[in-house]
Chains A and B, each alone.
Chain A
């Protein structure tokens, strides 16, 4: 059992989820409540990682972050190490690849909030951020929970993008999913089996938790 790989997966998933929740709350809010017409285009871009093959995403990320790219070179100057094939690079890749999993549940939940509550908030003196934080978000707790869980689980399950951008470096970018792949190539069925079972068990626990959370009644917990 490659505990190191499990730890990499866990840390990657946790940090990605936290970053994405911070990003997705206002982003989904902007998509839901802005009246401009071109938010449709933005919504499509956000949804891209859902339909793009992971290899395509990985390819573009390598082009954008690799040592030969402007971003990669800037990062190298800043930190002394490469962005691609590092944990930070994986983080960037994960955040982009899991973006729709964080944004879409929130977007759906915001859409379910009674428009008159938002208007009441505005008339009572709140600006855009205030209304988002004090009315829309508290009434979208189910969406937030779903977003967190889906993002976490999706990140743990990532393979193609991680392999291309991370490079399977043990202890740094070898995640649990890649470790399974690696074990199979090393003819180590036992290790592969153990790690897979762990991931399976984890996914079941996470999903059960989400659905339990969603069943809680009360404002904001209606299923999105």
Chain B
């Protein structure tokens, strides 16, 4: 009878559903898999994206058991997320002030804060752009420049620095209306790379990335135009395996790590 057949089918569906939902702890369940080694979850400021790829290789060589899972974004956003309980082990910020803020909020120990370098700003233009970066920030005042990309100054340190530099260069009044805000500095850089913005004031480390080199031209923004981008990080109090997180930090701060950072334009930390 059709009636009972339908009832049977429903029971099957429920069984399958229960089976699948039981695997619903998620792809990477809370308990770490001992055979896979330790995963250190890193919240990294976007300007570190490419440098971190090379650092990850270093970590793989020095500590084969440790694996990096990197999420890039704006430093300010990460502070929010970590405050809301985001499960990161290591936070690498573009501004040392943020890790210090986390210590004040009780989300990390003061001892675990460390500086890893000083960042630099560049004026970056895409291949097709009418702008000549050699002209410096003043070139952005030209009417031929319609859109200028920067990271969102509300929560991205590179954005804040970019705005400072534009003001100091005396072109803020003209450029302000041309601004296109990226959610973090690498999104701002992507606007430039894709031609959607005529120019951008972004991180040197991004302009130096292998995938970006052929895509645009850049000129460094003079350091006196903005407060130094003192970049620092912290091992978070909620880290699952603090020892592993510290091991990663040590690699970053070690000789090879500093060399990598240097190659991406970071000056050594004071």
The listed residue (A7, A66, A80, A134) touching B3 by CB distance below 8 A is: A134
Q: CB distance B87 to A81 under 8 Å? A: yes
Q: Given contacts A138-B6, A169-B69, A182-B72, are A84 and B190 in contact (CB under 8 A)?
A: no
State whether the Cβ of A186 lies closer than 8 Å to any Cβ in chain B: yes
A101 to B21 Cα, complex, angstroms: 20
Q: CB distance B212 to A87 under 8 Å? A: no
Residues of A within 8 A of B23 (CB): 11
Q: CB distance A172 to B28 under 8 Å? A: yes
Using an 8 Å CB-CB cutoff, how does the interface string of A62-96 with B read, 1 for contact, 0 for none? Answer: 10001110001000100111111111100100000
Q: CB distance B184 to A84 under 8 Å? A: no
State whether the Cβ of B231 lies closer than 8 Å to any Cβ in chain A: no
Residues of B within 8 A of A168 (CB): 71, 73
The listed residue (A62, A76, A83, A187) touching B190 by CB distance below 8 A is: A187
State whether the Cβ of A207 lies closer than 8 Å to any Cβ in chain B: no
Residues of A within 8 A of B35 (CB): none
Using an 8 Å CB-CB cutoff, how does the interface string of B59-95 with A read, 1 for contact, 0 for none? Answer: 0000000000111110000000101111100000000
Q: CB distance B26 to A167 under 8 Å? A: no
Q: Given contacts A134-B3, A187-B209, A187-B212, are A79 and B84 in contact (CB under 8 A)?
A: no
State whether the Cβ of A122 lies closer than 8 Å to any Cβ in chain B: no
- Residue pairs across A and B with CB atoms within 8 Å: the count is 105
Q: CB distance B85 to A76 under 8 Å? A: yes
Q: CB distance A184 to B30 under 8 Å? A: no
A19 to B69 Cα, complex, angstroms: 29
State whether the Cβ of B254 lies closer than 8 Å to any Cβ in chain A: no
Using an 8 Å CB-CB cutoff, how does the interface string of B192-209 with A read, 1 for contact, 0 for none? Answer: 010000000000000001
Residues of A within 8 A of B186 (CB): 185-186
| Min C-beta distance of A14 to chain B, whole Å | 6
Q: Given contacts A87-B27, A172-B28, are A185 and B85 in contact (CB under 8 A)?
A: no
Residues of A within 8 A of B112 (CB): none
A27 to B200 Cα, complex, angstroms: 51
Q: CB distance A88 to B25 under 8 Å? A: yes
Using an 8 Å CB-CB cutoff, how does the interface string of A92-128 with B read, 1 for contact, 0 for none? Answer: 0000000000000000000000000000000000000
Of all chain B residues, which has the CB nearest A15? B24
Q: CB distance B27 to A66 under 8 Å? A: no
A11 to B30 Cα, complex, angstroms: 16
Residues of A within 8 A of B209 (CB): 187
The listed residue (B21, B49, B50, B83) touching A19 by CB distance below 8 A is: B21
Residues of A within 8 A of B184 (CB): 185
Q: CB distance B24 to A171 under 8 Å? A: no
Using an 8 Å CB-CB cutoff, how does the interface string of B17-61 with A read, 1 for contact, 0 for none? Answer: 100110111111010000000000100001001100000000000
A42 to B6 Cα, complex, angstroms: 30
A216 to B189 Cα, complex, angstroms: 51
A174 to B26 Cα, complex, angstroms: 12
| Min C-beta distance of A152 to chain B, whole Å | 13
Q: CB distance B24 to A87 under 8 Å? A: yes
Q: CB distance B85 to A171 under 8 Å? A: no
Q: Given contacts A11-B27, A187-B190, are A18 and B17 in contact (CB under 8 A)?
A: yes
Q: CB distance B25 to A18 under 8 Å? A: no
Q: CB distance B6 to A170 under 8 Å? A: no
State whether the Cβ of A22 lies closer than 8 Å to any Cβ in chain B: yes
27 contacts between A and B (CB under 8 A): A11-B26, A14-B20, A18-B17, A18-B20, A62-B84, A66-B84, A79-B30, A81-B30, A83-B85, A84-B84, A84-B86, A86-B26, A87-B24, A91-B24, A167-B71, A168-B71, A169-B71, A169-B86, A170-B71, A174-B71, A185-B46, A185-B72, A185-B184, A185-B190, A186-B186, A187-B189, A187-B212
